[in-house]
Amino acid sequence: MGERHDTVVIGGGQAGLAISTVLHRRGHEHIVLERRRIGERWRTERWDSLRFQFPNWSIQLPGYTYPGDDPDGFAHHREIVRVVEDYAASSRAPVREYTPVVGLAQDADGKGFVLSLVDESLHARRVVLATGPFQRPFIPRIAHDVSPAVLQTDPTRYRNPHELPDGAVLVVGSGASGCQIADELIQAGRRVFLSVSRHRRAPRRFRGKDVYWWLDKLGRFDQMIDTFPDRRWPPSTVITGVNGGYDVDVRRMAADGVIVVGRVVGAAERRLALATNANSILDEADQAYASFLSAAREFVTKAKLQGDLGDEALADPLPLPAALQERDSLDLDRENITTILWATGYAYDYGWVKVPVFDDGGRPIQNRGVTHVPGLYFLGLHWMHTFKSGLFSGVGSDAEYLAEHMALVTGP
């Protein structure tokens, strides 16, 4: 019959370890299965210079708070690996490393689940899918229409500017990854093109407080995914923790030499078609910045905190002219573009899950991690319940919610 467990958690990152800690406290028998090593994506899918995007003091998990002496700093991704390792050890999480789950299905009687491993199978009454908020890079189909002579890569495989072939680099996507990598490349002396996508920008710090502090005070972390039409979350806010953390502004990057273009909409060998929407995208990001400042100033006034915060020191005004020259195409040969880095977001990777809990687009159908299939849960997804659901500081409360649901619905 194979091993039987009350609960199996799939994924040994921060989300899987958080629910393990909560289940242990409640006396729930469980195991955690990790495809490779604890915190694997922090080890092998991060570029060399990447740092945690939020201040170290925000690194919080059930039973764990940041213990270091640099709470306002930004941990390197290798430090995050140590955090996850130490957390697993201190919580005595029952993790089985190098145990990939290749299939998940319901039992024949529909009262549990069968987990297919490489050489055996396990049975569980409950399963928590905690395989990460960003599971595999989303590469658009038009990438197949680009000449094979051009290197195509993504943020999970990029490491540093020196590993890329000589020539110019096109970074597609202006989320956190795309902007940080483009900025790193231009600072390394590379010729860089940046194809922008919708994003928000905000000051790294305002009146002496980090943007994370402000997002919390302004209630942005409490906004639920259900408040957005079709549960489609808003564009990401672009920030960085590199070099002590600084404002990320595509207009400034353009002033530094990055060639900013609109969205890539087509490809034919060594020529790309572009939308002429770069200026409208940056205008929208500027509006988000202005809206953030307005909300922050209103909060300070209402809370009467004028004397408790630092001065309102912001980055220099935007370089002029603010308008960019639009292009409707890129000739890769003419521009000597030898590398395209697709920073176009992430997609789910649940092809191995044979339980009907996904919509037509492959997205999990869940409400704060609870599915309509009794005993099957998700945890740690981006915007699963709120923006914090995919963060260290938010996954714990979602884990507590799931554990409570398990106790109420299926018993301890």
- Supply the pLDDT for residue 320: 53
Specify the pLDDT at position 32.
98
Distance (Å, whole) CA 75 – CA 242:
9
CB atoms within 10 A of CB 283: 13
- With 0-12 CB in 10 A as exposed, 13-18 as middle and 19+ as buried, what is 92? exposed
Asked whether the predicted pLDDT for residue 202 surpasses 80, the reply is yes
In angstroms, the CA 10 to CA 114 distance is: 13
Pull the structure tokens for residue 236.
Answer: 């990401």
Query: Tokens at residue 275, please?
Result: 């939308």
* 3-state class (DSSP) for residue 81: helix
CA distance 372 to 68: 41
Is the confidence at residue 411, as pLDDT, over 60?
Answer: no
Longest dimension (CA), the chain: 70
Q: What CATH number does the domain located at 3-135+348-410 have?
A: 3.50.50.60
Section 133-160 average pLDDT: 96
Residue 333 has what pLDDT?
97
pLDDT at residue 79 greater than cutoff 60: yes
What gap in Å lies between CA 6 and CA 128, rounded to an integer? 11
By the 8 A CB rule, do 55 and 40 touch?
Answer: no
Query: Tens of pLDDT along 273-326?
Result: 999 999 999 999 999 999 999 999 999 999 988 878 887 876 555 555 578 999
Q: Cβ contacts of residue 37 below 8 Å, gap of 6+?
A: 12, 43, 97, 98
Instruction: Give the residue-averaged pLDDT of 369-390.
Output: 96
Please count the helices (runs of H) and the strands (runs of E) in the chain. 8, 23
Beta-carbon contacts of residue 5 (< 8 Å; ≥ 6 apart):
29, 30, 31, 122, 123, 124, 125
Q: What is the pLDDT of residue 212?
A: 96
Report pTM: 0.93
Q: State mean pLDDT over 367-396.
A: 96
**Sign of torsion over alpha carbons 283, 173, 207, 243:** negative
Least confident of 195-204, 225-234, 266-275: 225-234
**Where are the chain's structural domains?**
3-135+348-410, 139-342
Question: Of 83, 61, 93, 97, which is closest to residue 399 (Cα–Cα)?
Answer: 61
Using alpha carbons only, give the angle 101, 103, 105 rounded to the nearest 5 degrees: 125
Cα-based distances in Å from 140 to 245, 291, 365: 31, 32, 24
As a whole number, mean pLDDT of residues 25-35 equals 96
Over range 180-190, report the average pLDDT.
97
The predicted model gives 17-26 an average pLDDT of: 97
* Region 149-171 average pLDDT: 98
